[in-house]
Structure 1
Amino acid sequence: MITETGNPENEENKVSLDESQNNSEQNHHHDDIDYEAEIEALPEENPIESLSLDQILDELEKIVNLKDAGSHSRKFQQLRDAANLHIHDEIEEKKHQYTEEGNDEANFSYQHPKASRLSALVNIYKEKMDDFHKKQEEEHSKNLAERHDIIERLKNLYTNTEAGTNLFKAIREIKEAWSNAGQVAKSEFKNLNNNYFHHLKMFNEMLDLNKEYLEQEYSHNLEKRNHIIDRAKELLNEPLVQKALNELQYLHKLWKEEAEPVAEEFREKTWEEFKDISQKIHERKSELFANLEKDQEANLAKKTEIIEELKKLASPSQNVNHNYWQNAIKTVENLRLEFLKTGSVPKKVSNQTWTDFKQNLRAFNTAKNSFYKNLKDSQIKNLETKLALIKTAQDNMLSEDWETIVPLFKKLQEDWKHVGHVPRSQANKVWDEFREACNTFFKNFRDKNNATTDNWKDNFKNKRALLDQLKTISNEEGSIEKIEQIKNQWNAIGKVPKDKLGINTEFNKTLRDKLKLNKINEFDLNEENLTENQLTDKARKIKNQIADLEAEVVKLDNNISFFSNASRENPLLKDTYQKLDDKKEQLESLKQTLHNIITSNDN
C-alpha cells in the first residue's frame, strides 16, 4: 500500500506550508529514535535453528497450504535452507559411519528419506509463486486504475466543484480512498505519487486558506493523535514485551500517515507525550533480552546435560552386550531429538555446543559399530561350531545303537543350547538342518520302540471311548474346554491297529463339527494323517507368508505416515486403509493357524 502522505514540494499557501513544516518537524523527531529499525533488530522468539527437520518440513507444508503462500517467500527460503542443512549434516554423519566401518568413501551412497518430501514442497511452492506473481501483476494493474480514478476525483474537486459541496467531507473521502488503495508496481509509484500530491497542492491553493476547512482538519488529526497516545499508555502495562514493541511500531506508522497535521499549539506537546511513552516502552527491551538470556542459559544447561549423557553411553563402564546397545540406540535417538528440540543457546557458545554434540554422537556410533563388528566375528565362530554339531547329528541319525546314540543326541542338543548366536541370514537354515537330523533319529527310535511296547488294541478302545464322549457334547457352557481336554487326551494315546485307522478320520470329522457348533476358528485337523515333517514344512510356509504380510503392513503404514492428514476420513487414503485392514486380518488368521499347527505338532 502507498503510505507516503507528505507533499514532496514546497507549497506557497498557508495550509501547504503548515503541512510541510509539520512533516519536517515530524522527521526531525523521528531522527532521534528509529523505533522501527530497532524493533526489527530484535531476536526471534522461535529461531529456525531450534527446529528439527520434521518440524521444518511441517512449517514448509503449512506455508505451501496458505492461500497467500507467495507472500511468505522469505520465510520459506529460510526454512528451505535450514532443511537442506539438516539433510546435509545427516548425510555427512552417515558417510562418517560408513567410513568408520572400514568402507571406501567412494562407494558411499545414501538417499535421505526426507529429501523427496522437501523437493516436492519446493516444486509446489515454485508453482504457487508463479501464480502469486501473476495475480500480483493483475492486482497492481487494478490498483493503478483505481488510483488514477482517485486522482481524477481530486482534480475534479477543485476544477468542477458543484455549489453546496462539502469540501471537507469530499477531500477526507479521497484521502481515505488513496490510503486504502492497494499496491502498484514500483515503476509506477513515483510518478503516480507526484501526480497525486500535485493535485492535492492545487486543491489546497484553491481553498485559498479556507480557515474552516483547516480547523476541521487539525481537529480531526488531533483526535487521532489522542487515540494513539491513549493506546500507547495501555501498552506500558502489556505483559508481553515483544507484543508491546510490535504494536508501538504500528502506532508510529499510524502517527506519520494519519495524524498530521495539527494546530501549532498541539504539535510539540502531543509529540513529546507520545515520544516519552514510546521511550518507556522501548526501555522494556531490556526485559526481553533478560528473559531471552535466561532461557538461553537454561537451554545451554539442558544441552550440556544431553552431551554428558552421550559421553557416558559411548564409553560404558562395564561389559556390555547386544541388549545394552539396542537400548542405548533408542536412548540416543531420544536424546538427539531432545537436543534439536531445545531452543537456542548464547551465541558465543552456540558453535562449540553443536560441535561437541556431533562429536559425541559420532563417538557413540563408532563404539556401537565396533561392538557389532566384533560380535559378527563371534557369530561366525558360533556358526562353525553349530555346523560341526549338525555334521555329527547327520552322521548318526540312522544308527540303531540306541544305548550309545541316544545319549549322544541328548548331549548334542544340550551343546546346541549353549552355543551363542549365529549370523541372522544362517540362523533358520542351520536350525532346520539340526532339528531335521534330531527328528529323524528320535522318530526312528520311537517307531522301533513303540512297535514292541504299544498295546494297539487298548489304544483303540480308549480312542473309541473318547470319540463316544465327544459325540455327546453340545453347545453348552464349558463345552470348549471339554473339547480341548478330549483332543489332548486323544493326542496322548498311541497308535491303533491298521484295520482300525478309520477311527482317526471319524474323530477328526466329529471334532470339526463340534468346533463349528461352538464357533471356534480352529486349524484344519490332520485329516490326511500328515507326518511330523510335513506339518513342519507347512508351518514353515505359513511363517514365510506371515513375514511377507508383516512387510506389506509396515510398508502401508509408512506410506500413510507421509500424509500430514492421515485420518481415515481422508478420501485419498480410503483404499489404503481398507487394504491395510485386509492385510492385518489375513495376518491374524495365519498366526492362529500357525499356533494350531505348532500345538498339534507338540501333541
Structure 2
Amino acid sequence: MSEEKKPQDPSIEEHLEETAPAADRTMNAEIEALAAEANDTELSTEEVSGNATTTTEAPPAETTAVTEEAPVEKKEVPKKDYTVLSKEELIAELQLLIKNERVTDIKDQVEEINTLINAQFDAAQEEAKQAFLAEGGNIIDFRFFSPLKKEFNEVYYEYRNKRQEFYERKRKDQNANLRERQDLIEEVKALRNELGGAESVNTTFNKFKDIQERWNNAGNIPRDRYNLVWNDYYFHIDAFYELLHLNRDFRDKHFKENLDKKLLLIERAEELGAEPNINKAFKELQLLHRMWKEEIGPVAREYSDEIWDKFSVATKKIHDARDEKQKEVEAVWVQNLEQKNEIIAKIKEVAQDDIKAHKTVQAKIKKVEALRDEFFKAGKVPKENNEETWASFKEATKLFNHKKNDFYKSQKKEQYDNLAKKQALVKIAQEHKDSDDIPGTLDVMKRIQADWKKVGHVPRKDSDKIWKAFKEACNHFFDRMKDSKKQANAGEQDNLEKKQALMKTVKEAKMTGERDADLIAIKAFIEEWKAIGRVPYAKKNIDQDFNKVLDGLFKQLDIDKKEAELIKYENRMSVMVDSDDERAIERERFFIRKKIDEVKAEINQLENNLGFFQHVADDNPMVAEVHKNIARHKEDLNMWKSKLRKLRMAITESQKVEEEETTETEEAEETSDS
C-alpha cells in the first residue's frame, strides 16, 4: 500500500496523545472484558506447555497471521487423588465427569482413571488365576469375568464415543466456516469494483466493516487450509485499502483508529508481563493477538514495524516466563521419574527373594501392594519416559506374580503326592475291613489311622472324597468288631435297669442353691452312673437322656456353660471308654481332631482374608465382623482341644483300671496255685 510522506512523522507516543477519548474508552472496555474472559478460562500447565500458537517474531508485513486459530477456552477441571479410590468409586467418578464436564476438558482425568482401574482389574485377575491354579486347574481353562469391568468398559466407551462425536462435529463446523470465509473473500473482491461506482466511499466502507465483523465471527477452519485462506483474505483486504487512495482522508482516519487500538493492546500486553499468574497472562495474551490479527485493521506503514516490534517484545517476556514455569514443572516430573524408578527397583528386589512358605507370600503381596500404591501416587513423569516407565513397572510386577505362582504350583505338587499316599492307605483299609482276624486287623487299622494323620493336605476338591472312602472302610471294620462282641456282654440289662432307676432319682433331686455343694452332688450322680457300666447297644441312647437331665440341673446352677459342657462330655467319654466300644472311641477321636483341623483352617482363612483389608480401618463393619468371627472360632478351638484332653484322660484311666484288674487276677491265680 503506497502512502504519502508527512512533513514530520509523529512518534507513537505523540500519536497516542491525539487519540480520541471515545475510542480510548471503547478499546479499554474491550481489553478489560478480555482480561475477565482470560481469568475465567485459565489454562492448565499442560496446555501452556503444549500450546505454541503465538508468534514472537515480527511478521514481514502487517497482515501476517499471528495464530493459526482462536485459542480454545479449556475449563480447568480440578483433579482428585484417584489412587485411593476403589474400582466402584473410580467408575462413579468417571460417570460424574462425563455427565458434568465437556469431553475436551477431562482427557487427563479419564486417562488416569483408565490406567488405575485397569491396574486394579489386572491384580484381581491375577489373584483369581492364582486361586484357580491352587485348586488344581489348568491355565488353559482359566477364564476371568468381572461385572465391574464390563460396567467400566461401557462407561469408558461412552466417553470415547462422545469425544469422537465432538471432533466429528468440529470437522463439519470447520468445513462450514471455511465455505463461509471463502464467500466473504468473494464479497471483498466485489467491493473493489464498487469503489469506482455510484456507491459512496462511506457506504462501501460500511459494507467492508460488516464483512470484517462476519469474518471475525465465522469461527475456526481446518488447520491445513488456514494459512492459504488467511493470506488470500488479507491480500484482497490490502488491495481494497490500496483503492482507498482516492479518499486519503478517510483512509488515514481509519489507519489512525487502528493504531490507537493496537497501542492499547501493546499497553495491556506490557501490563501482563507483571502478572504473577502465568497461565492467566498467557491466555489473555492469546486473546490480544487474536484482536490484533482478526479485529483490528492495518495501520500506516511508517508505524507498522515499530508497533509490531513493541508488541513482540511484550509477548516474548510472557513466553519467557511461561518457559521458565514449564522448566519448573518438568523438574518435578524428573523427580517423579526418579521416585518411580526406585519403586520399580524395590518391587524387583522383592521378586528376587526366595519364597518358602505361604506366610512369606502373603507378606510379600502386602509389600508389593504398598509399593504399587506409592507408584501411582508419585505423579507424572516426562512424556518421553512415560511408556518406558510404565512398561518397567508392569514387568516388575509380572516377575513377582510369576514367582508367586511358581510357589503355589510347587505346593500343588506336594498336595498331589499326599493324595497318592492317602489313596494307598484307603486301599489297605478296604483290603482288611472284612478280615476275620479282629485283633490283628485292629492293629493294622490303628497303624494306618496314625499314618493318615501324618500325611499333609491334599487338593481341596479331593479332600472330602478321599476322607469319606477311608472313614467308611474303617467304620465297616469297627462295626463288625462291635457286632462280634455283642454276645460277650453280660449283665447289660441289669445295668440298664439300674441306670433307669438312677435317672429317676436324679430327675427328682432338688438343688440346695449352694453352688459347690450342688456341683459335688451332680458329680456324684455322674460317678455313680459311670460305675454302673454298659447297657444293651439298642438302649445306648439312655446316656443322652441322662445328659439332658444333667442339663436341667446345670441350668439351676450358676456355672459357666463351657464348664458344664466339659463335665457332661467327661461323663459321656467315660461311659464310652468303659463300654470298650473301640469303634466309637476311634470315631470320636477322629471327629474331634478333624474338627480341630477344620477350625484351624477356618481361622487361617479368616486371618488371610484380613490381608485384603489392609487399607481399611479396624472399625469398618466388615473388618469388625471378621475379627468377631475369628474370636468365635478360637473359642470353639479351645473347646475341642479340651474335649480331646478329656477323651485321652478317660482312655488313660480305663487302661490303668484294666492293668490293675489284670494284676489282681494274676495274683489271685498265683495264690490259688500255691
TM value normalised by structure 2: 0.46
Which of 302, 309, 327 aligns to 1:272? It is: 309
8 Å contact 2:178–2:221 — kept in the other structure? yes
8 Å contact 1:456–1:496 — kept in the other structure? no
Q: How does 1:158-307 map to 2 (within 5 A)?
A: 172-183=209-220, 198=236, 202=240, 205=243, 208-209=246-247, 211=249, 214-215=252-253, 218-219=256-257, 221-227=259-265, 229-240=267-278, 244-245=281-282, 247-262=284-299, 267-285=304-322, 287-307=324-344
Letter in 1 for 2:466: V
The structural deviation recorded for 1:422 is 1.6
8 Å contact 1:296–1:343 — kept in the other structure? yes
In structure 2, distance between residues paired with 1:204 and 1:393: 116
In structure 2, distance between residues paired with 1:30 and 1:461: 123
In structure 1, distance between residues paired with 2:111 and 2:229: 37
In structure 1, distance between residues paired with 2:458 and 2:96: 49
Find the residue that maps to 2:247 and give its secondary structure: coil
The structural deviation recorded for 1:179 is 0.3
Which of 384, 387, 400 aligns to 2:420? It is: 384
8 Å contact 2:361–2:404 — kept in the other structure? yes
8 Å contact 1:380–1:423 — kept in the other structure? yes
In structure 2, distance between residues paired with 1:346 and 1:184: 32
More deviation in 153-162 or 376-385?
A: 153-162
Cα 1:172–1:413 change in 2 (3 A) is farther
Aligned to 2:499: 455
Tell me, yes or no, if structure 1 residue 324 matches structure 2 residue 360: yes
Find the residue that maps to 1:209 and give its secondary structure: helix
8 Å contact 2:285–2:315 — kept in the other structure? yes
8 Å contact 2:282–2:319 — kept in the other structure? yes
Cα 1:377–1:268 change in 2 (3 A) is same
The structural deviation recorded for 1:378 is 1.5
In structure 1, distance between residues paired with 2:334 and 2:224: 49
In structure 2, distance between residues paired with 1:135 and 1:300: 36
Q: How does 1:90-109 map to 2 (within 5 A)?
A: none
8 Å contact 1:390–1:434 — kept in the other structure? yes
Find the residue that maps to 1:28 and give its secondary structure: coil
Aligned to 2:460: 424
The structural deviation recorded for 1:180 is 0.9
In structure 2, distance between residues paired with 1:186 and 1:298: 36
Deviation string 1:104-126 (CA, Å, 9 cap, x unpaired) is x9979978976996699569846
Aligned to 2:38: none
Deviation string 1:353-382 (CA, Å, 9 cap, x unpaired) is 566545544442343233223212211222
Deviation string 1:414-446 (CA, Å, 9 cap, x unpaired) is 76555432212222333455566788869979x
In structure 2, distance between residues paired with 1:58 and 1:218: 58
In structure 2, distance between residues paired with 1:142 and 1:347: 34
8 Å contact 1:299–1:342 — kept in the other structure? yes
Cα 1:262–1:389 change in 2 (3 A) is same
Cα 1:375–1:188 change in 2 (3 A) is closer
In structure 1, distance between residues paired with 2:408 and 2:329: 44
Cα 1:202–1:421 change in 2 (3 A) is same
Percent identical pairs in the alignment equals 26
8 Å contact 1:60–1:79 — kept in the other structure? no
The structural deviation recorded for 1:316 is 2.6
Which of 18, 27, 39 aligns to 2:59? It is: 27
In structure 1, distance between residues paired with 2:318 and 2:101: 35
In structure 2, distance between residues paired with 1:244 and 1:149: 33
Aligned to 1:310: 347
Cα 1:263–1:311 change in 2 (3 A) is same
Letter in 2 for 1:328: K
Deviation string 1:503-523 (CA, Å, 9 cap, x unpaired) is x9xx9xxxxxxxxxxxxxxxx
Q: How many residues align?
A: 458
Deviation string 1:528-573 (CA, Å, 9 cap, x unpaired) is xxxx99xx9xxxxxxxxxxxxxxxxxxxxxxxxxxxxxxxxxxxxx
Aligned to 1:365: 401
Cα 1:298–1:213 change in 2 (3 A) is same
8 Å contact 1:229–1:273 — kept in the other structure? no
In structure 2, distance between residues paired with 1:320 and 1:351: 34
8 Å contact 1:168–1:213 — kept in the other structure? no
In structure 1, distance between residues paired with 2:369 and 2:164: 37
8 Å contact 1:296–1:345 — kept in the other structure? yes
In structure 2, distance between residues paired with 1:169 and 1:286: 43
Deviation string 1:24-52 (CA, Å, 9 cap, x unpaired) is x9513899999989x99xxxxx9xxx999
In structure 2, distance between residues paired with 1:206 and 1:338: 69
More deviation in 456-465 or 280-289?
A: 456-465
Higher relative contact order (CA 8 A, sep 6+): 2
8 Å contact 1:13–1:208 — kept in the other structure? no
Aligned to 1:481: none
Deviation string 1:57-102 (CA, Å, 9 cap, x unpaired) is 9999899769976x799x79x979x98xx99xx89x99xx99xx9x
8 Å contact 1:225–1:270 — kept in the other structure? yes
8 Å contact 1:36–1:249 — kept in the other structure? no
Deviation string 1:370-401 (CA, Å, 9 cap, x unpaired) is 32232122112222344455566775699998
Gaps in structure 1 of 5+ consecutive residues: 1-9, 15-24, 41-45, 467-491, 508-531, 537-583, 585-590
In structure 2, distance between residues paired with 1:287 and 1:372: 53
Find the residue that maps to 1:178 and give its secondary structure: helix
In structure 1, distance between residues paired with 2:152 and 2:463: 38
8 Å contact 1:383–1:423 — kept in the other structure? yes
Cα 1:107–1:321 change in 2 (3 A) is closer
The structural deviation recorded for 1:412 is 7.0
Find the residue that maps to 1:420 and give its secondary structure: coil
8 Å contact 2:171–2:222 — kept in the other structure? no
C-alpha RMSD of matched pairs (Å): 7.3
Letter in 1 for 2:321: R
In structure 2, distance between residues paired with 1:248 and 1:205: 33
Cα 1:463–1:140 change in 2 (3 A) is farther
Cα 1:201–1:272 change in 2 (3 A) is closer
Q: How does 1:479-498 map to 2 (within 5 A)?
A: none
The structural deviation recorded for 1:307 is 2.6
Letter in 1 for 2:219: G
Tell me, yes or no, if structure 1 residue 374 matches structure 2 residue 404: no
The structural deviation recorded for 1:127 is 8.5
Q: Rg bigger for which structure?
A: 2
The structural deviation recorded for 1:329 is 3.2
TM value normalised by structure 1: 0.50
In structure 2, distance between residues paired with 1:463 and 1:274: 112
In structure 2, distance between residues paired with 1:172 and 1:31: 16
